[in-house]
Chains A and B, each alone.
Chain A
Amino acid sequence: MWTWFHKLASPPHFFRISEKMVPWFGISGLLIIAWGTWHGLFVAPPDYQQGDAFRIIYVHVPSAYLSMAAYMTMALAAGIGLIWRIKLSHAVAAAAAPIGAWFTFLALATGMIWGRPMWGTWWEWGDPRLTSELLMLFLYFGYMALRAAISDVKKADNASGVLALVGAVNIPIIHYSVEWWSSLHQGATILREDGPAMPPEMLTPLLFNIAGFTLLFGALLLIRVRTGVIYREHRKMWVKNLIQRGEL
């Protein structure tokens, strides 16, 4: 198990393996999203209170979940990179940030579009989850700005890694802010002690979309990490060999 792990952490090996993984992740993710979105938009019954407006959750919830999952990925990868000094791990952290920022933006945008007819306002400051999601976006911006400001890759890796870990403190605050402050936002719907408060024909497409978005995130992450690895290793022999053989 550990030898496999060590092998994966070597850039040339990762580059070979990931080439085969990207289409699997990407295509299966897109297919699942297509099924989930079709069922979410056309098959699931309208909500008895919100009508058809609730259907935006099929984009909103997976995006919001991935905005946090991407941050966790980033912080975890940065932590592994800092502790065991694995360069590939830093490349994963660096690649996860822009994708996570996009999902955060998507979650905010869909939340605002939903909020206009439902709450009667584009933006509600009293809602802690909305505010924390915005702070999440700022955290991503800070992380990316710090990376951009340091020209030495190794130093940028380590410095931004520390920032990612410090920022990870914000994740539990986001999650529990729902309970901390009085809130307009819906309470937890899926993960509740007495089971999901949602009929299965609404829930199944949502779960499919969450899985599909996650797979798509994996594919995008792998593509970005592959580019990052080539950038970091462009002076190494194996990259030169790849170029000479015309495989790059």
Chain B
Amino acid sequence: MSDKGTSNLFSGFCAVVRRDLLLSWKRPGDMLNPLFFFLMVCTLFPLAGGPTAEQLQLSGPGVMWVGALLATLLSLNSLFVSDYEDGSLDQLILSQQPLPLLALGKSAAHWLTNGVPLVLISPLISVMFQMPVQTITIMMVTLIFGTISLSLLGAIGSALTIGAHRAGSLLSLLILPLAMPILIFGARTASLSMTNDPTAAGIYFLGAYCMFALSLAPFATAAALRICNE
């Protein structure tokens, strides 16, 4: 393997992404369940809180963001579990490829199978919440940055809770406080666009947060994987 130079640095990354995409294609339930969960949470709020247009518009961005956050957490639970159980995580760690890049591949695949569907379905829910057109666009933009950040952040938590008791509830406890800036800026920015207020600052923040997570989170995930896969 040593004769393969740096040109193959991303071959491991690509292999992990391809494998995870194939796995979720074979088991579409893993991908669809969080999506249905997102849809249902967003349906619950109008039913519980009242269906008037003002109420929907007021609560819409917040509800959608909470729904997206919870749906992402739901799907993050199983990010490393099957790899841990069938031993392929050992192979990832032992391989010559740099582990942070492989961890980045896991996050990328998670975003493609969970984040992208959320973003794509968000206009439908935005319409159900009677949002104006510009808000629908802003909602999608914030969700794109937000779900990328969540996939990266969540991978750290998911790696840290491998083999721990009650990993599901523990993961939410670890990730939710860290994800709060994303939630605040995501929902606030979408709310601001409703009244035609400037939204650039919020989007810049989410973009910066996303880049920050992109550059640091894979290293933390790799460290967590090495520690917890023992």
Contact = CB atoms under 8 A, between A and B. Distances in A.
A145 B220 CA distance: 19
A31 interface: no
A94 B227 CA distance: 17
A46 interface: no
Nearest to A128: B184
B170 interface: yes
Contacts of B176: 138
A155 B173 contact: no
A27 B44 CA distance: 57
Interface size class of A (residues with CB under 8 A): 20 to 34
A167 B156 CA distance: 11
B224 interface: yes
B177 A135 contact: yes
A167 B181 CA distance: 13
Interface string B208-223: 0000000000001001
A166 B178 contact: yes
Contacts of B181: 173
A167 B178 contact: yes
B227 A163 contact: no
Max chain A C-beta neighbours (<10 A), residue from B156, B174, B181? B174
A243 interface: no
Per DSSP, are chain B's interface residues mostly helix, strand or loop, or mixed? Answer: helix
Interface string B148-182: 00000000100011011111001001101110110
B55 to A, nearest CB: 19
Contacts of B165: 149
A162 B180 CA distance: 19
A159 B170 contact: no
Given A149-B161, A149-B164, A155-B228, A162 B156 contact: yes
Interface of A: 82, 131, 135, 138-139, 141-142, 145-146, 149-150, 152, 155, 158-159, 162-163, 165-167, 169-170, 173
Top 6 closest A-B pairs, CB basis?
A138-B177, A149-B164, A158-B227, A142-B174, A135-B177, A142-B173
10 contacts: A138-B173, A138-B177, A139-B177, A146-B170, A149-B167, A150-B164, A159-B160, A162-B160, A162-B224, A169-B178
Given A152-B230, A169-B178, 19 more contacts: A82-B223, A138-B177, A142-B173, A142-B174, A142-B177, A146-B160, A149-B165, A149-B167, A149-B170, A159-B160, A159-B224, A162-B160, A162-B220, A162-B224, A162-B227, A166-B156, A166-B178, A170-B178, A173-B181
